[in-house]
């Protein structure tokens, strides 16, 4: 018989914003369906399994496995376990985590939408999830008709001498890249390293290299110079879904056959990628205006007035720079904002339509279905855990 009050241990790194987001998701689940008796201790990256774990007699484990030692220790318990990080290290446990190929696709489209024609990716680590991000990025770039260069090295600096050698290598690589180039760093830490390397190499960011990281760890992103654009992960939903899955496992249900993958929330744009990669200053200004004012209900006529060129010239030159018409760019920005609001808020469709520049909820539904392939309601159900 299952205990009325399950005892659960959480082995989750708490030193970064992603780990803390996981905890918030678990807390939300427990607020709705709990309680559990939860043992949680602050954990640093790569921490060894706690000594007491071997003798612990509880009901379930939530773990974000960072080392083989933790995976082995958890597996030896023989308890219901849900993995939140590394299925390749802990393949015997069902997992809930990031949709890493989707992260790569999102980063690629962010840079493609800004008009870049040269692309690069920097993995800086061997985890399978990082490789999946890089592959998703590269495949999206190649489908758009462009090539993608990959940084050939790997870095895990442990001492200042290793750090200096790594940064020299990164700086030399950054100098060699064709310019302007859009570059994905597979983590915010790698993005932080890259921005430092660009400064050492005197490569202008974002004018010569635009950089996007992954994780939206605000401590790193805002400490970087310039501030780092980043893919925001849906850590709270991952934590929530992992807690829900563990609850089912502890109740005797069978584990799912496949990992549960959660798509990222979107891109938080900061200075490191905040430009349009075009030599046409009027089109760059037009695109910036669209991104600032699309949700205010602007029309192509407003853009023409803003940049003081003819409508026909605007249409022709924007297609040459971005491959999209002004109207298509307005719609793209509005739909992206609608997706963000659908995921991150519980606002009704009428309010979202008003906030994104659509005249009616019905018109939002029509355009959303055309652009995304599903209704806003279906999109919200698939991507948000807000009920």
Would you call 139 exposed, middle or buried from its count of C-beta atoms within 10 A (0-12, 13-18, 19+)? middle
Q: How many CB atoms lie within 10 A of CB 68?
A: 11
Give the pLDDT score at 385.
63
Average confidence (pLDDT) per 10 residues, the chain, 387 residues:
77 86 93 88 77 86 82 88 82 90 96 92 85 95 95 68 86 94 95 95 93 94 94 94 95 92 91 84 88 91 91 91 88 90 89 93 95 91 68
Domain with CATH 3.40.50.2300 in the chain: 7-98+235-265, 100-233+267-273
Give the pLDDT score at 8.
94
Give the pLDDT score at 287.
87
What CA–CA distance (Å, rounded) separates 191 from 257?
34
Give the pLDDT score at 364.
95
Q: Which residue has the tokens 């060894």?
A: 48
CA 379 to chain centre: 17
Domain with CATH 1.10.10.60 in the chain: 281-383
Q: For the chain, percent helix, then strand, then coil, each to nearest 5? A: 50, 10, 35
The DSSP output letter for 87 is T
Give the pLDDT score at 16.
83
Architecture of domain 7-98+235-265: 3-Layer(aba) Sandwich (3.40)
Give the 3-state secondary structure of residue 348: coil
Fold of 100-233+267-273: Rossmann fold (3.40.50)
| CATH 1.10.10.60 matches 281-383 | yes
CA 271 to chain centre: 17
Give the pLDDT score at 158.
59
């Amino acid at each position: 018989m299952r205990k009325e009050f399950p005892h659960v241990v959480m082995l989750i790194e708490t030193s970064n914003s992603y780990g803390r987001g996981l905890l918030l998701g678990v807390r939300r689940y427990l607020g709705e369906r709990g309680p559990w008796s939860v043992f949680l201790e602050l954990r640093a990256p790569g921490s060894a399994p706690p000594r007491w774990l071997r003798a612990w007699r509880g009901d379930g484990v939530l773990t974000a496995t960072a080392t083989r030692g933790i995976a082995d220790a958890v597996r030896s318990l023989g308890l219901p376990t849900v993995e939140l990080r590394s299925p390749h290290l802990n393949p015997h446990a069902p997992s809930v985590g990031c949709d890493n190929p989707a992260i790569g696709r999102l980063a690629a489209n962010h840079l493609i939408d800004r008009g870049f024609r040269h692309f690069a990716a920097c993995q800086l680590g061997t985890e399978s999830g990082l490789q999946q991000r890089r592959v998703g990025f590269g495949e999206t770039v190649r489908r758009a008709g462009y090539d993608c260069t990959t940084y050939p090295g790997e870095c895990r600096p442990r001492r200042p001498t290793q750090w200096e050698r790594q940064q020299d290598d990164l700086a030399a690589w950054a100098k060699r890249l064709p310019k302007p180039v859009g570059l994905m760093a597979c983590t915010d830490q790698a993005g932080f390293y890259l921005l430092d390397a660009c400064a050492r190499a005197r490569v202008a960011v974002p004018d010569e290299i635009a950089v996007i990281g992954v994780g939206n760890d605000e401590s790193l992103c805002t400490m970087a110079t310039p501030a780092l654009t980043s893919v925001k992960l849906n850590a709270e939903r991952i934590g929530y879904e992992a807690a829900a899955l563990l609850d089912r496992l502890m109740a005797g249900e069978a584990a799912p056959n496949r990992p549960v993958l959660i798509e990222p929330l979107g891109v938080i744009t900061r200075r490191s990628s905040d430009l349009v990669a075009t030599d046409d200053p009027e089109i760059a200004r037009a695109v910036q205006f669209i991104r600032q004012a699309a949700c205010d209900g602007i029309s192509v006529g407003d853009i023409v007035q803003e940049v003081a060129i003819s409508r026909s010239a605007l249409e022709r030159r924007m297609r040459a720079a971005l491959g999209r018409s002004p109207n298509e760019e307005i719609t793209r920005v509005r739909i992206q904002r609608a997706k963000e609001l659908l995921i991150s808020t519980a606002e009704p469709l009428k309010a979202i339509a008003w906030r994104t520049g659509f005249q009616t909820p019905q018109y939002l539904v029509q355009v959303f279905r055309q652009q995304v392939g599903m209704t806003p309601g279906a999109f919200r159900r698939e991507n948000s855990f807000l009920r």
